[in-house]
């Protein structure tokens, strides 16, 4: 499944989608950025409530397929535009991480 | 010693949000050299943790990346306060980072352990009051 297909299937909001045809594989949930870098796998969907600029670097370096911002968290425009420029896919969900994760599990992720 | 491709970076200690510029550049350079993606991922994460540490604790520093035929070596040097107890600093969860850093999602005490986790060899040379040099090696099998 691609990031764009994931967005459409779960009716998530697209914040940035510069590489929507990237394949997703597995899920990691976490807000402590070093934990994410230590534990997330390449191509994971990363669920978080963090919204500062460092999430863009972490997503790039950990090579996750997309970030899902949970609980209706929004980004400052400068963070959004940096993510777009760096090719980082970011989706947003109103639901908390657990609810979003359950829906991802139903998709077999 | 065999010939190395060398990259040098100055890590700005002023701006926490811009930390990662050197790591992202290293990632790009290594990709251009045809290094395998999984190796690049390990190196760029280890490098980013090192960068973050230099910004948090040492007001910046310098990073040197040497690409040899069989290995990649990263040397991070700062003139910060030094690490008083290296063994303790290597424990997961131990951190001396200030609260403002924690609110950004860092300072969980995972930086040095991650650097060790993602490299094949890591050496810390630190003198309190003078600074720290960390040398990390990733083998290209």
Q: Taking CA B118 as the corner, what is the angle to CA B131 and CA A36, rounded to the nearest 5 degrees? A: 95
Q: Which of the 8 DSSP states describes residue B5? A: E
User: Tokens for B121?
Assistant: 């060899």
Instruction: Answer whether CATH 3.40.5.10 is correct for domain A3-106.
Output: no
Sole residue written with tokens 């420029």: A85
Where along chain B do its domains lie? 5-139
Mean pLDDT score, B81-110: 94
The pLDDT value given to residue B21? 87
Instruction: Please give, rounded to a whole number of angstroms, the shortest distance from the CA of A31 to a CA of chain B.
Output: 6
The pLDDT value given to residue B141? 78
Sole residue written with tokens 């060790």: B116
Task: Name which of A1-5, B22-26, B72-76, B120-124 the model is least confident about.
Answer: B22-26
Where along chain A do its domains lie? 3-106
The pLDDT value given to residue B15? 76
Residue A41 pLDDT > 70: yes
Biggest CA-to-CA distance, chain B? 45
Of B19, B45, B109, the CB nearest to A37: B45
Q: What's the ipTM?
A: 0.86
Q: Three-class SS of residue B60? A: strand
| Percentage of residues of chain B with pLDDT beyond 90 | 87
| Residues of A with Cβ-Cβ distance to B38 under 8 angstroms | 42
Of B24, B113, B114, the CB nearest to A57: B24
Residue range A7-16, pLDDT digits in tens: 999 999 999 9
Contact B19 A57 (CB under 8 A): yes
User: Tokens for A16?
Assistant: 């940035």
| Residues of B with Cβ-Cβ distance to A55 under 8 angstroms | 105
Distance in angstroms (rounded) separating the CA atoms of residues A83 and A81: 5
Instruction: Answer whether CATH 3.10.20.600 is correct for domain B5-139.
Output: no
């Amino acid at each position: 499944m691609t990031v764009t297909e994931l967005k459409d299937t779960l009716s998530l909001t697209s914040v940035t989608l510069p590489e929507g045809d990237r394949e997703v594989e597995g899920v990691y949930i976490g807000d402590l950025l070093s934990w994410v870098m230590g534990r997330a796998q390449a191509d994971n969907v990363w669920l978080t409530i963090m919204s500062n600029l460092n999430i863009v670097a972490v997503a790039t370096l950990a090579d996750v397929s997309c970030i899902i911002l949970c609980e209706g968290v929004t980004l400052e425009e400068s963070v959004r535009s940096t993510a777009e420029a760096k090719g980082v896919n970011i989706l947003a969900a109103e639901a908390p991480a657990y609810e979003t994760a359950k829906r991802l599990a139903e998709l077999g992720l | 010693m065999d010939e190395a491709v060398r990259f040098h970076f100055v890590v700005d200690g002023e701006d926490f949000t811009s930390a990662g510029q050197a790591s992202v550049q290293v990632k790009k350079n290594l990709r251009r050299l045809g290094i395998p993606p999984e190796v690049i991922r390990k190196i760029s994460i280890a490098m980013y943790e090192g960068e973050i540490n230099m910004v948090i604790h040492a007001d910046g520093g310098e990073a040197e990346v040497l690409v040899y035929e069989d290995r990649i070596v990263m040397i991070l040097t700062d003139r910060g306060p030094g690490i008083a107890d290296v063994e303790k600093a290597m424990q997961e969860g131990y951190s001396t980072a200030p609260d403002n850093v924690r609110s950004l999602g860092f300072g969980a005490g995972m930086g040095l352990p991650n650097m060790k986790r993602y490299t094949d060899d890591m050496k810390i040379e630190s003198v309190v009051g003078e600074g720290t040099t960390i040398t990390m090696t990733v083998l290209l099998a």
